[in-house]
Structure 1
Amino acid sequence: MTSLSGAAAAAPPLRFGIMCSGTSFAAWQARCIENLLELPGVEAALLIVDDNPSPQRPLAEKLRQRFASPTTLWRIYQRAFLKSGSPATWPVDLGPKLSHVPVLRCVTKQVGKYTQRFFPKDLEAIGSHDLDFILRFGFNIIRGEILTVPRYGVWSFHHGDPERYRGAPPALWEIHNREHVTGAVLQRLTDGLDAGIILQRGYFKTNASSYVRSRDQLFFGGADWPAKVCVDIRNGRADYVDAPPLATKAPIYRDPANRQLLRFLSNQARSRITDQFASLFRHQQWGVGVIDAPVHEVVGLSGGKALSHPVRWLSEPSGRFLADPFAIEHVADGGTKLTIVAEDFDWSSNIGRISAVESTNSGTFGDPRLLMNFPFHMSYPFLFRHDERWYCVPETNEAREVCLYAFDPATLAWEKEATLLRNRRIVDSTLVHHDGVWWLFGTDEEQGANLKLHLWYADDLKGPWQPHPANPVKTDIRSSRPAGRPFVHEGRFYRPSQDCSRSYGGAVTLNLIRKLTPTEFEEEPVSSLGPAPGGPYPDGLHTVCGIGGRTVIDARRDVFIRQAFNAALSRKGAGLLRRLGKKPPVGTR
C-alpha cells in the first residue's frame, strides 16, 4: 500500500468525489475506493450519482440487437462468461463505508450519442464541496466545465494502451491481434476524445488463453493508482497532473463483429492448447555461462551488439539446473578465483537450494557445492560487497522474509546477520548503496512476481527499512522484476530487469535510473538482451551479473523433463478432482 512522507501527513486532507450509479461497485472499483479510504489524509466527500433515465428502445430494435446484430455473438459471450465468471466485476456494496458521504443525484444534458454535460446548478453544487478530484465510475463521455471544477480534475481509467488501442472492449483486441502486452492508464480527462493527461500507466502480460483472467488482471492491477497519485500530490511530486494531454491517432475499436469474435475465440483456444501442451512437455532447463568481457560491453553500452562475446557454459548437474548466478572474485592459490553462487534446482524435489561453483587454476569449473539447504525454495542469491565483506540476500519468499547473510568466499561459510523485511513475499531482492542511501528493489509474489516493482530504503544496511511512498513504483511486465546486479557506467546508474512479456525469463531489459530519492523513482529502458537463437540455450535469459572484467549470465532451453511432466500431471489431476468435488490424494501439490 502507498504511504505518505512525514511532512505530507500534516497537510489538509484531499477530498474526492465519485461519479457512480449508487453504492454498489464492481470489485476492482471498490478496491480503488477502499485504497483511497485507507490512505491517511484522503477522504470521500461526495457521491455524484447518475440519475439519467434508462433509454427506452422499441421492442423491434431490442429483438434486432439480440438476434440480428453483427455483434450478437459478443453479447452472448458476455452473458455466458463475463457476468458471472469475472471476479473483478462482481458487485461489492460499499454502502456502509460511504454512509456518511453526501449524495448528489444529477441529470445531464445529452450532446450527440455519447457525450454528457452537467447543468449549471449541479456544477455549482459540486463546486461547493471543494473537491480535489473526482473518480469517474459512472456516466458516459464527460465534457465541459465539470472537468475543471475539482482542483486536480476528473480521473478515469482506460484499460488499453491509448497509443495503440482506443475504444472497447478492454483487453479483447490484444488477444484478437496476438499482442504479448496489454496496457492500461489512469488519466485526467480533458475535452478532447482520448486526449487525457496520463497520471499512471502500466503494462501487463496478455493472457491469451483466458480473456477473463487477462481483463481481470488489468482491472485489479491498476486499483492502487488513484491512491498513488494522491501520495504524489501530498508529497509535492505530482507535476504530471498538469502535463500536456496525450496526442494519439490510434485506431478506435468497438465491440467485435461475429466474425471477429470467432477469430478471437480461435486465438484463445489455440493459446490454451499451447499452454497445456507446454506445461506437460516443455520445461525450462537453465544453464549458467561466463563471458570474458565487462558487463557494459555485454549489454551493448559500448556501441557494440549486445551479447556478441563467446560464452563458456558450465556443465549441467544431472537431474538439476543452475540459474540466477552471481559471482565474486577473490585471491586464492596465488591467483584470482571466480566463485559463482546460484540457485541449484532439483527436478525431483521441485525445490531450489543455493550452491557454489568455483573456478580452477586452468579456468574450468568444478562441481556445484551445496551452501544453503532449507525446507523451502531458495533462489537469486544476490551477492554484494560492503566494508570489505561479502554479503548475500537469497530469495526466500516462501518463508515471508528477506534475510541478510555474511559470506566468506575462502571457506564458503555463511552466517545470518539480520532480517531486513518480514511478512512479505518479496521476489529477487536486489540491494545497492547509492548517494549515501541503501536501496532494496524487489517484486511481490502476492501482487504478481513479474509485474510490480517495489522499493525500500535505509540509512544502515541492517535497517530499519522504509517502504518507498510511491510503492509500487512501477507496473510493467517488461521491466519490473530484478535480473541481476545494478551497475554504474560512465556516471550513469543501470538496473537489469526481466522481460516476462512473452514468457517467464524471456529476456533482460536494461533500465537507466533517472531519479532515485526517498520520494521519487524514475527509470527508462535503454536496451534489451535476449538469448542467442543458435546457442545451446535459445529460449530465454533472465540474469546478468558483472564482476570486474567478466560477466556471468544464465539462459534457458525448453525441453521435456520427466519429473516436471509427472508433477504437472499430478497438479492437473488434483485440480480436476477439486472441480468434481472430490478430495485430492495426500501429498499432491
Structure 2
Amino acid sequence: MVRIGLLLDNLKIKRWQNEIINYIKSHPNLELTTFIINANKPKYVVPGSFFYRASQVLDRKIFPVKKDVFKEISLEKNEKDLPIYYIEGEEKRFSYRVAIKDIERIKDLDLDIMIRFGFGILRGGILDAAKNGVWSLHHGDNRINRGGPPAFWEVANREDVTGITLQKLSEELDGGKVIKRSFIKTNTTSFYRNKNEAFWAGIELFNLALDELSRGILKYEVEKSSFQFYCHPLYKDPDNSTSVKILLLFWSRRILEVAKEKFSFPQWYILYKFKKDSFLEKNIFRYKTLYPPKGYDWADPFIIKENQRFYLFFEEIKIGTGNGHISLFQFDEKGTLLNERPVEVLNEEYHLSYPFIFKEDSNYYMLPESADANELWLYKSEEFPERWKKYQKIFSNKQIYDASLYFHEGYWYLFGTEKLSEGGNRDQYLHLYYSKELDSENWVSHPLNPLSLDVRGARPAGKIFKENGRLLRPTQIGAPKYGYGIQINEIKQLSTTEFIEEKLSDILPKWDKDLLAAHTLNFEEGFTVIDAQGKIKK
C-alpha cells in the first residue's frame, strides 16, 4: 500500500486536485493518510498586473468551458475523519522552508510520497521527508518553459504544443527529477481553455504515475543528456505593457481568423497515385485528387486490391451532421477511376470513420471507428465490396479511436488512442491490446499502456507496413491542429510485454499553399492514397 500525504494551504481546493484525490481513494493500492496544512499566513501575495488579470477574466467569460477544473471544492465535510497536521516554516518571497521540528513530525508519518497542492516553492528538508519525495505538476515543458503562469505563454507565443511535467521536487525551480511528461495541442483560441485542457492532462499524468508506483513499475524519465542548460526565459506574469501587447496581438489574430472564415471553409479530400513498381509514391505533388461535392468531407482512405481491381474505402460525411458513413470508389488495374460518384457501403445510426480493411483466410474484414457508440465492432463482408455485417464485438463500453490491427509472431495487435478522463484528449494516449484470435472479445491490455503521452505521433494514421525490413506505423501529428500531418514511426520492439518505436519521417501539408492538414496514409501494390484538408473558397 502506497501511503500518501497532501500538502495544502487550506481545505478549499480546485476540482483538478479533487479528481486526483478521488482517484487515490478509489485505487486499491493507494492510501490517503493525512492532510499537511500550512499554518503560516501568506506574507507575499502578488496579484499580477491589472491588464493581465482583466484579460484573463475577459477570456474566461468569452470562452467558457464545460468541464471546468478550477471549480472550488471544500474538503471540510468530506474528509473530516482524516488526520490533519498544521506545520510552520520560514516563508520568503520565492521559497518556503518547513521548520525542522515539523519535518521530523512528517517523517514519523512514514509516507511514501507527498503531493504538493500548496505551500509555494519548497526548499530544504521537506523535500526528502517522504520515501519518494514531494511530487508536483508543472504545466509546461520544463526544458523550455519554467515559471508561470501555467499554460499561458504557449498561447501567447503560438506554440504548437503545451507540455505538462510531473516531477519530484528539488531545490531547482521547475528543475526536479522528471517522473512523466506529456504534450497536448495548444488551444490558441483561448488562454483559459488551454489552461483548462492542460490541467486535465495533468490529472491524467498524475494518476498514471500513481498507478505505476503502486505496481512497482514506475520509471523516471531518462534525459538524453545529463549535461543540459536551461537557456529560455524564467517566465512570470506579464506586466501591464506586455499584457496589452499580448492582448492586442491575440485579438487581432482572432478577428483575422474569423474574417477569413467568411470567404473560405476547410474541406477534406482524397489524393491518390498509382505506380507500376508496386511501392508507394513519396512525392505528394504528383498525386491526383478526388474532391467531394460542396458541403461534404472525404477522409480516412484505405485501399485494397481484389481481382485486378483496386477498391478505395473512405469516410464520407455531410459537414455539420456529425454522422459519417463508409463509401467506396473503384479503380481498374491501371489505376483508372471507374465510378465518378462514390457508393455508400456501410452506415449506422452513429458516426463511422477510418474503415480499416484487410483480408484474412480469404475473407474481408473491416474495423471502422465507432467511438461515438462507445464500442468497437469487426465487420465481415457478405458480398465484397458493398455488403457488410457485424461479425464480432471487440470492445464494449470503450471509446477507442482509429483502431488498427497488425498480426505479428502469433498475436493480433490492436493499436488505438483513448481518452483517460472526461476532459481529456482523444489523440494523446496510445493504447495497445493483443489477442491470439481475431474474432475475440477478450483482448488483453498491454502492460505498458499508455504507450505514448504525446499528441504528436500517437493516434494511428493508416495500416502498419514493412519497408526494407523495417516495420513502420503511420501516426497523426495532432498539433498545431487536429490531424495536422502524418508521422512515420519505426517499431523497434513489439511483443506482449515490450513496445518501442522511434520517429522516422513525416508528411506535412506543404505541397500546396491552401493546405491545412493531412492525416491518413495507405497503399497496396503500387496504389497509394492520402487525405488532405484544404481551404475552399465559398
Report if TM-score (shorter chain) is over 0.5.
yes
- Look up the match of 1:145: 125
- Look up the match of 1:102: 83
Letter in 2 for 1:185: T
- Look up the match of 1:60: none
Residues 145-184 of structure 1: CA deviation (Å, up to 9, x unaligned): 2222322221111111112211111122222222222211
From 149, 156, 161, the counterpart of 2:141: 161
From 18, 32, 38, the counterpart of 2:26: 38
Aligned residue runs from structure 1 range 52-131, under 5 A: 52-55=40-43, 71-78=49-56, 87-110=68-91, 113-131=93-111
Name stretches of at least 5 consecutive residues in structure 2 with no aligned partner.
Answer: none
- Between 209-218 and 139-148, the greater mean CA deviation after superposition: 139-148
2:427 paired with 1:427: no
Confirm or deny: 8 A CA contact 1:127 1:150 kept in the other structure: yes
From 448, 460, 476, the counterpart of 2:437: 460
TM-score normalized by structure 1?
Answer: 0.81
Confirm or deny: 8 A CA contact 2:17 2:117 kept in the other structure: yes
Please give the secondary structure, in 1, of the residue aligned with 2:126. Answer: helix
* Structure 1: distance between partners of 2:231 and 2:123: 20
Confirm or deny: 8 A CA contact 2:180 2:220 kept in the other structure: no
Deviation at 1:479, TM superposition (A): 2.2
- Look up the match of 1:262: 244
Letter in 2 for 1:558: K
2:400 paired with 1:400: no
Provide closer, same or farther for how the CA distance between residues 508 and 137 of structure 1 changes in structure 2, counting only shifts above 3 A. Answer: same
* Structure 2: distance between partners of 1:337 and 1:257: 65
2:154 paired with 1:182: no
- Between 174-183 and 155-164, the greater mean CA deviation after superposition: 174-183
Confirm or deny: 8 A CA contact 1:134 1:155 kept in the other structure: yes
* Structure 2: distance between partners of 1:93 and 1:364: 66
Confirm or deny: 8 A CA contact 2:279 2:525 kept in the other structure: no
Confirm or deny: 8 A CA contact 2:127 2:170 kept in the other structure: yes
Provide closer, same or farther for how the CA distance between residues 54 and 345 of structure 1 changes in structure 2, counting only shifts above 3 A. Answer: closer
Letter in 2 for 1:384: F
Residues 236-287 of structure 1: CA deviation (Å, up to 9, x unaligned): 4323279787753321011101121112212332343345446554333222
Deviation at 1:89, TM superposition (A): 1.7
Confirm or deny: 8 A CA contact 2:303 2:313 kept in the other structure: yes
Deviation at 1:482, TM superposition (A): 1.8
Confirm or deny: 8 A CA contact 2:7 2:114 kept in the other structure: yes
- Between 30-39 and 216-225, the greater mean CA deviation after superposition: 30-39
Please give the secondary structure, in 2, of the residue aligned with 1:55. Answer: coil
Confirm or deny: 8 A CA contact 1:395 1:427 kept in the other structure: yes
- Look up the match of 2:519: 542
Residues 205-263 of structure 1: CA deviation (Å, up to 9, x unaligned): 22222111011100112202222112223444323279787753321011101121112
Provide closer, same or farther for how the CA distance between residues 463 and 143 of structure 1 changes in structure 2, counting only shifts above 3 A. Answer: same
* Structure 1: distance between partners of 2:407 and 2:76: 47
* Structure 2: distance between partners of 1:488 and 1:325: 19
Letter in 2 for 1:290: Y
Deviation at 1:533, TM superposition (A): 2.7
Please give the secondary structure, in 2, of the residue aligned with 1:420. Answer: strand
* Structure 1: distance between partners of 2:337 and 2:297: 15
Aligned residue runs from structure 1 range 518-533, under 5 A: 521-533=499-511
From 366, 379, 384, the counterpart of 2:358: 384
Residues 116-156 of structure 1: CA deviation (Å, up to 9, x unaligned): 22233222221222212111111121122222232222111
* Structure 2: distance between partners of 1:206 and 1:198: 21
Aligned residue runs from structure 1 range 4-15, under 5 A: 13-15=1-3
Deviation at 1:384, TM superposition (A): 2.6
Confirm or deny: 8 A CA contact 1:152 1:241 kept in the other structure: no
Greater share of residues in strand:
2
Deviation at 1:96, TM superposition (A): 4.5
Aligned residue runs from structure 1 range 410-449, under 5 A: 410-444=384-418, 447-449=424-426
Confirm or deny: 8 A CA contact 2:280 2:527 kept in the other structure: no
2:330 paired with 1:352: no
Please give the secondary structure, in 2, of the residue aligned with 1:116. Answer: strand
Deviation at 1:348, TM superposition (A): 8.2
- Between 306-315 and 415-424, the greater mean CA deviation after superposition: 306-315
Confirm or deny: 8 A CA contact 1:295 1:551 kept in the other structure: no
Confirm or deny: 8 A CA contact 1:228 1:470 kept in the other structure: no
Deviation at 1:527, TM superposition (A): 1.8
Provide closer, same or farther for how the CA distance between residues 429 and 493 of structure 1 changes in structure 2, counting only shifts above 3 A. Answer: same
* Structure 1: distance between partners of 2:177 and 2:469: 33
- Look up the match of 2:530: 553
Residues 442-485 of structure 1: CA deviation (Å, up to 9, x unaligned): 23475333333333333332231244455544332322222111
Deviation at 1:107, TM superposition (A): 0.7
Confirm or deny: 8 A CA contact 1:439 1:455 kept in the other structure: yes
- Look up the match of 1:238: 218
Deviation at 1:377, TM superposition (A): 2.2
* Structure 1: distance between partners of 2:181 and 2:277: 30
* Structure 1: distance between partners of 2:243 and 2:320: 43
2:330 paired with 1:343: no
2:153 paired with 1:173: yes
What percentage of aligned pairs have identical amino acids?
31
- Between 226-235 and 371-380, the greater mean CA deviation after superposition: 226-235
Confirm or deny: 8 A CA contact 2:280 2:526 kept in the other structure: no
- Look up the match of 1:486: 464
Matched positions, count: 527
* Structure 2: distance between partners of 1:470 and 1:242: 16
* Structure 2: distance between partners of 1:448 and 1:288: 26
Deviation at 1:49, TM superposition (A): 0.8
* Structure 2: distance between partners of 1:510 and 1:75: 43
Provide closer, same or farther for how the CA distance between residues 378 and 411 of structure 1 changes in structure 2, counting only shifts above 3 A. Answer: closer
- Look up the match of 2:489: 511
Residues 385-431 of structure 1: CA deviation (Å, up to 9, x unaligned): 33443311111222221110113674533221111112233322222
* Structure 1: distance between partners of 2:469 and 2:83: 54
- Look up the match of 2:305: 329
TM-score normalized by structure 2?
Answer: 0.88
Confirm or deny: 8 A CA contact 2:155 2:190 kept in the other structure: no
Please give the secondary structure, in 1, of the residue aligned with 2:304. Answer: strand
* Structure 2: distance between partners of 1:272 and 1:381: 35
Provide closer, same or farther for how the CA distance between residues 100 and 204 of structure 1 changes in structure 2, counting only shifts above 3 A. Answer: same
Greater share of residues in helix:
1
Residues 515-552 of structure 1: CA deviation (Å, up to 9, x unaligned): 555566554433210234338x7332110113234322
Alignment RMSD (CA, Å): 3.1
Confirm or deny: 8 A CA contact 1:291 1:309 kept in the other structure: no
Letter in 2 for 1:379: S
Confirm or deny: 8 A CA contact 1:231 1:469 kept in the other structure: no
* Structure 1: distance between partners of 2:279 and 2:171: 48
Confirm or deny: 8 A CA contact 2:44 2:93 kept in the other structure: no
Please give the secondary structure, in 1, of the residue aligned with 2:316. Answer: strand
- Look up the match of 1:50: 38
Confirm or deny: 8 A CA contact 1:327 1:552 kept in the other structure: yes
Letter in 1 for 2:188: A
Confirm or deny: 8 A CA contact 1:495 1:512 kept in the other structure: yes
Provide closer, same or farther for how the CA distance between residues 269 and 48 of structure 1 changes in structure 2, counting only shifts above 3 A. Answer: same
Provide closer, same or farther for how the CA distance between residues 97 and 377 of structure 1 changes in structure 2, counting only shifts above 3 A. Answer: same
Letter in 1 for 2:287: V
Provide closer, same or farther for how the CA distance between residues 220 and 315 of structure 1 changes in structure 2, counting only shifts above 3 A. Answer: closer
Deviation at 1:502, TM superposition (A): 2.4
Letter in 1 for 2:315: E
From 158, 174, 180, the counterpart of 1:200: 180
